[in-house]
Chain A
Amino acid sequence: MARMKFLCDAERCIECNGCVTACKNENEVPWGVNRRRVVTLNDGVVGAEKSISVACMHCSDAPCMAVCPVDCFYRTDDGVVLHDKDLCIGCGYCFYACPFGAPQFPQAGAFGLRGKMDKCTFCAGGPEADRSETEFHKYGRNRLAEGKLPACAEMCSTKALLGGDGDMIADIYRERVLRRGRGAEVWGWSTAYGLPPKPGAQPPQPQQPAAPTGGKS
Chain B
Amino acid sequence: MRTRISPWMPLLCCLCQLSAEIGEIPEGYTPIFNGKDLSGWHISRSNHHGTTLDARVEKGVLIIGQNPIGEGGILLTDKRYKDFELYLEVMPDWGCDGGVFLRSSEDGNAYQLAIDYVPDGLMGALIMEGLPKDGPGGAGAGRSDAWKELWKKDDWNSFRVRMTGLAPHIIIWLNDVEIVDFTDDRNRAIGGAEDGMIALQRHFTSASSWRGVPGGVHRFRNIAIKELN
A binds B: no
Interface residues of A (CB under 8 A from B): none
Interface residues of B (CB under 8 A from A): none
